[in-house]
Amino acid sequence: MTDTTHGIGGLTFDTKKRALPPELGVALALVLIVAIFEILGRIFMHDSFLFNTRDSVDGLFNMARLKIIILQVSIIGIIAIGVTQVIISGGIDLSSGSVVGATAMIAMSFAQAGTVYGAENTRAVFFTQGWVDLPLAVPLLVGLLCGLVAGGINGLLIAYTRIPPFIATLGMMVAARGIAKWWTRGQPVSFPTESYAALGAGMTPVLIFAGVAILFALALKYTVYGKHTYAIGSSESAARMSGIKVARHKVLVYTIAGVLAALAAIVLSSKNLTAQSGMGVMYELDAIAMAVIGGISLQGGRGSVLGTVLGALIFGVIISGFTFLKLDAYYQEMVKGVIIVGAVVLDQWRQSRHSDRI
């Protein structure tokens, strides 16, 4: 006997039946894609994509490959978490890649070592000022402050003028890239202190990504901040009429996205042991793609951090799979494009099932 409740108009409702979470579909897609690469690998490369085929190493899975997949997507993944909450709130952020560039340059110049290979590092940006070998807190705070300012400006523009998010963040995209180039007139900034270099070493980026993901998964689900983010993305006017301070909330959402982009910049420059003005180009699109593949609706109001994490993994698997199959990078880009458009089409289709009815 099923437990039913009588509703308005005599309809019955099976309370035991629950809609499947949309993340399940994304997870299945991930499994499917891995399976495809596994099959293609067995046929064309006579090797396994997922499993360990070497006798010299222990374990069932090809851990080296799995590690690379996760490491590859962690840095853009950090940005994607910030972008996720922006998209859920009904907005978009095109500036994150450039904010990465500008932040990496600025943070790195406060993180340079005073001596390199036993000689004085006279090429350090702030060598004459004597700002070398600074404690880790300095570049960290300066970097995060860069993201805070950039994101804050995005938010203020979007919330208090009528500029659409697309345009406002496009402006920031161009301006921040300009700052990245202007900072050292295009010169790369290298040789960080040991403490700074540790942030991006080994699997640390994965840990940071995981920490950020867990933090924001909880914040979106269990805090007022999260609830209001969904509400604004779902219906801005309803949110306003219900008494949510929409403008203030949007400033917060974009500021957080900026700070997360800055965090990604710090980890990236640390991992590469250098910062260049061209860093992070196109990262904003990859981050948006991860979110969209993960089921975040570009129309706002829907999606979760878990979805974006799965989307990031799909992203990583595809890149790694193409390398594994020794396919050209051109194909990678093309397939990436197809997948992004496909994910948006899927979302439109999902939405239309609801909005056709009125």
Partner 1 sequence: MSDIVLKTENLTKHYGGVHALEGANFEIRRGEAVAIMGDNGAGKSTFVRQITAVEQRTSGTIWFDGHDVAFKDPLEAREAGIETVFQNLALADHLNVPDNLFLGRELVRFRLGPFSILDYKAMRKATLEGLQKTGVKIPNINNTIQNMSGGQRQCVAIARTATFKSKLIIMDEPTAALGVQETAQVENILHTLKSQGEPVILISHNMRQVMEICDRIVVFRRGRIVANLRKEDTDGQDVVAYITGAKTQEEYAGAA
CA atoms of 190 and 217, how far apart (whole Å): 34
Smallest separation, CB 246 to partner 1 (Å) = 9
CA atoms of 216 and 226, how far apart (whole Å): 9
User: Nearer to partner 1 by C-beta: 134 or 305?
Assistant: 305
Q: Which helix (H) or strand (E) holds 12?
A: strand 12-14
What does the DSSP assignment read for 157-201?
HHHHS---HHHHHHHHHHHHHHHHHHHTTT--EE-B-HHHHGGGS
Residues numbered 1-40 forming contacts with partner 1, rule: CB under 8 A: 5-9, 11-13, 15
Any contact of residue 301 with partner 1 (CB under 8 A)?
A: yes
CA atoms of 82 and 96, how far apart (whole Å): 9
User: Nearer to partner 1 by C-beta: 14 or 333?
Assistant: 14
Smallest separation, CB 227 to partner 1 (Å) = 6
x/- contact string, 227-246, with partner 1 (CB under 8 A)? xx-xx-xxx-xxxxxxxxx-
Sole binder of partner 1 in the list 65, 177, 271, 302 (CB under 8 A): 302
Beta bridge partners of 12: 6
User: Nearer to partner 1 by C-beta: 8 or 60?
Assistant: 8
Smallest separation, CB 146 to partner 1 (Å) = 22
Smallest separation, CB 351 to partner 1 (Å) = 9
Beta bridge partners of 115: 120
Cβ–Cβ under 8 Å, residues 169 and 150: no
Smallest separation, CB 122 to partner 1 (Å) = 45
Beta bridge partners of 189: 275
Smallest separation, CB 91 to partner 1 (Å) = 15
Cβ–Cβ under 8 Å, residues 74 and 209: yes
x/- contact string, 245-274, with partner 1 (CB under 8 A)? x---x--x----------------------
Under rule CB under 8 A, how many of the chain's residues touch partner 1? Answer: 35
Any contact of residue 224 with partner 1 (CB under 8 A)?
A: yes
User: Nearer to partner 1 by C-beta: 118 or 243?
Assistant: 243
Any contact of residue 354 with partner 1 (CB under 8 A)?
A: yes
Provide the token pair at 138: 């300095």
Smallest separation, CB 250 to partner 1 (Å) = 12
User: Nearer to partner 1 by C-beta: 89 or 184?
Assistant: 89
Residues numbered 190-209 forming contacts with partner 1, rule: CB under 8 A: none
User: Nearer to partner 1 by C-beta: 131 or 225?
Assistant: 225
Any contact of residue 115 with partner 1 (CB under 8 A)?
A: no
Per-residue buried b or exposed e for 13-25, using 16+ beta carbons within 10 Å of the residue's own CB: eeeeeeeeebbee
Other C-beta atoms lying within 10 Å of the C-beta of residue 109:
20
CA atoms of 197 and 267, how far apart (whole Å): 9
Any contact of residue 223 with partner 1 (CB under 8 A)?
A: yes
What does the DSSP assignment read for 47-107?
S-SSB---SSS-SSB-HHHHHHHHHHHHHHHHHHHHHHHHHHTT-----HHHHHHHHHHHH
User: Nearer to partner 1 by C-beta: 103 or 229?
Assistant: 229
x/- contact string, 320-339, with partner 1 (CB under 8 A)? --------------------
Smallest separation, CB 8 to partner 1 (Å) = 6
CA atoms of 286 and 134, how far apart (whole Å): 33
Beta bridge partners of 192: 112
Binding site for partner 1 (CB under 8 A): 5-9, 11-13, 15, 219, 222-225, 227-228, 230-231, 233-235, 237-245, 249, 252, 301-302, 354
